[in-house]
Amino acid sequence: EVQLVESGGGLVQPGGSLRLSCAASGFTFSSYWMSWVRQAPGKGLEWVANIKQDGSEKYYVDSVKGRFTISRDNAKNSLYLQMNSLRAEDTAVYYCARVSVAGTVDYWGQGTLVTVSS
């Protein structure tokens, strides 16, 4: 059974940093692209970042470029999102998601809430 479990969310002040983690199990983690998708309170889904199987390619939504870094450790079956210079508008539930071979975002974690507020 595919499982994605996020952790690391919490309350942080504007300008602060936070590192999210996602522990993957039930599939060969190193064979899949992985994504972070976020959802602001009461809002829709917004894709944040993607990373290729070996970490050689990374892509970001414009609003987080230069502030967020996606990474992975295939030996630990883990995905990460380092978030710096956080803003109030980054407040959201952050989901870790798997991208299938055919390009479908097919499995999602339960999400971790990040609140940026003073």
Partner 1 sequence: QSVLTQPPSVSAAPGQKVTISCSGSSSNIGNNYVSWYQQLPGTAPKLLIYENNKRPSGIPDRFSGSKSGTSATLGITGLQTGDEADYYCGTWDSSLSAHAVFGGGTQLTVL
Q: Which residues bind partner 1 (CB under 8 A)?
A: 33, 35, 37, 44-47, 50, 57, 59, 61, 95, 100, 102-111
> With helix as H, strand as E and coil as C, how does the chain read?
CCEEEEECCEEECCCCCEEEEEEEECCCHHHCEEEEEEECCCCCEEEEEEECCCCCCEEECHHHCCCEEEEEEHHHCEEEEEECCCCHHHCEEEEEEEECCCCCEEEECCCEEEEECC
- Least distance from partner 1 to the Cβ atom of residue 5, Å: 11
Q: Which is nearer to partner 1, 27 or 47 (CB)?
A: 47
- Least distance from partner 1 to the Cβ atom of residue 6, Å: 10
- Least distance from partner 1 to the Cβ atom of residue 45, Å: 4
